[in-house]
Amino acid sequence: MTQFREPGPGVFANPLPRRSPGAGLDSGGEENLPAEALAAPPVPLVHSGGPMPGQSAVHVELGALRERVPGVRGAVLAGVDGRLIGHDLHTGPEPMDLAALAATTFGLGRQCGLTLRQGRIRELTVHSDQGYFTVYGVSDEVLLAVLGDDRLNVSWLHLEAAPVAERIADLLHVGGTA
């Protein structure tokens, strides 16, 4: 008879080891990246006249999603290869880590869809004790990952994120949704 034991406290309490931004996976330390490459993009601001001067339309879309859906902590744009394209995160996990997680999550979901013969993946949501992580295909090359807290209404997020993904695809000139 197989016995299952309950995980004790702390089994999942410690996250994976952290790396500093810009650290190479095989270098063991910091790479020689320019300071602007390590800096977070400016926080997008939206006002009645459209984007604030100096703000990209993509960052405005990410910020608008956070403002429209209660519980959204931020969003990340990533390539399907896990590279960070842009983000709207103020606190929390490293945007580069979320980009890598988005690509991994999307790849797993895509493989499930193919194996089950259910077609292309539309979105994938991971619901944890303290929040949500949802990944959408913007195109065949770009992903939108949204980080939410435990009060997030996922249905509301899905309604708001689909048009945001379409507008981002248009802005990035990457063609339709995945």
DSSP 30: B
Q: Pairing between strand 50-51 and 46-47?
A: antiparallel
What tens digit of pLDDT does each residue of 35-70 get?
A: 443 344 433 333 334 444 445 889 899 999 999 999
Mean pLDDT across the chain: 77
The CATH fold assigned to 55-172 is: Beta-Lactamase (3.30.450)
Sheet of 142-149: strand order equals 84-87, 72-79, 142-149, 131-137, 123-128
The predicted model gives 84-113 an average pLDDT of: 93
State the Cα–Cα distance between residues 114 and 112, nearest whole angstrom. 5
Residue 135 banded pLDDT, cuts 50, 70, 90: very high
Q: Which of 12-21, 43-52, 108-117 has the lowest mean pLDDT?
A: 43-52
pTM of the model: 0.69
